[in-house]
A = this chain, B = another copy of it.
Amino acid sequence: MRRNANSSDDSGGDPRSMDDDIVVQGVLTAIGQKRLAPGTKLGEDRLARASGTSRIHVRQALSHLASRHIVVQFPNRGAFVHRPSWKEAQDIFAARRLVEAATTGMAIDRLDARGEALIREHVAREAAHDPTDRPASLALTAEFHILIARLADNSVLFDAVKELTLRTSLAIATFETPGSLDCSPRAHPDIAGLILRRDRAAALAEMNHHIDEIEARLIPLLTKMDDDELTAIFKEIGSAAASGART
């Protein structure tokens, strides 16, 4: 009997071993629950002790997460939870608008009875869950978007939505304003209803609006500025001073 690499379909990806998956899922849920802030160092020995596995699995898991842009690895310095720049966060949302508009349309095109049942089941699960539980809300949001992408029946776009969902949670953890809460899952039943009604234009517009709403909750904090932006600013001052001195 051959064992499958990933049993649940909403798992992060395709790590080779089972112990790798433990580390990957651990880091992912820790990030999703905001127990691991962006920029945190992920020491190999520490993760190995925490996950109960060996250091080699931790390294493979970190390499896997690095390929998904969840962590960044510096040579001889270790792995850190990736802190996306403001530009990268905007890029992520622009890509989501593009890809998820496509997956929504394709999901409507290929919608059948099984797809309708899956959508209804998810809406029911969202209606029944505790709205004050932030990590659960975030996980349900990700599951909704991934479900739509699965119904689109395109493996490339499905993987893209999975990756963009993860990176979005990193962007939220980096740039979210402390005030706004639980405003996003409210829109899911609306989108689901429009999809079930095969209202293409309205579903696309609502999905775009939903992504815009998530993006609007983020603000560019200057304290979390990226190094590249900092050097760009210094270069800008330099050129401005040069032109000012010339004039």
A92 pairs with B156, CB closer than 8 A: yes
CB-CB under 8 A for A160 and B157, given A13-B67, A64-B63: no
Does any Cβ of B come within 8 Å of A99's Cβ?
yes
Does any Cβ of B come within 8 Å of A41's Cβ?
no
Please encode chain A, from 125 to 155, with 1 for each CB lying within 8 Å of some chain B CB and 0 for all others: 0000000000000000000000000000011
Does any Cβ of B come within 8 Å of A201's Cβ?
no
B60 pairs with A63, CB closer than 8 A: yes
A94 pairs with B156, CB closer than 8 A: yes
Please encode chain A, from 76 to 114, with 1 for each CB lying within 8 Å of some chain B CB and 0 for all others: 000000000001100110110011001000000000000
Give the residues in chain B near A88, CB-CB below 8 Å.
155-156
Does any Cβ of B come within 8 Å of A35's Cβ?
no
Q: Please, how many angstroms separate the alpha-carbon atoms of A90 and B175 in the complex?
A: 37
Q: Please, how many angstroms separate the alpha-carbon atoms of A67 and B98 in the complex?
A: 23
Range, interface on chain A: 20 to 34
Chain B nearest CB from A22 CB (Å) reads 15
**CB < 8 Å neighbour of A75 from B16, B87, B91, B94:** B16
Does any Cβ of B come within 8 Å of A14's Cβ?
yes
Give the residues in chain B near A64, CB-CB below 8 Å.
63, 67
B3 pairs with A75, CB closer than 8 A: yes
Does any Cβ of B come within 8 Å of A207's Cβ?
no
Chain B nearest CB from A169 CB (Å) reads 15
CB-CB under 8 A for A17 and B75, given A63-B63, A160-B160: yes
Closest to A84 in B: B155
Give the residues in chain B near A208, CB-CB below 8 Å.
none
Q: Please, how many angstroms separate the alpha-carbon atoms of A3 and B75 in the complex?
A: 9
Does any Cβ of B come within 8 Å of A164's Cβ?
yes
Does any Cβ of B come within 8 Å of A34's Cβ?
no
Q: Please, how many angstroms separate the alpha-carbon atoms of A60 and B160 in the complex?
A: 23
Does any Cβ of B come within 8 Å of A184's Cβ?
no
Give the residues in chain B near A164, CB-CB below 8 Å.
156
Does any Cβ of B come within 8 Å of A37's Cβ?
no
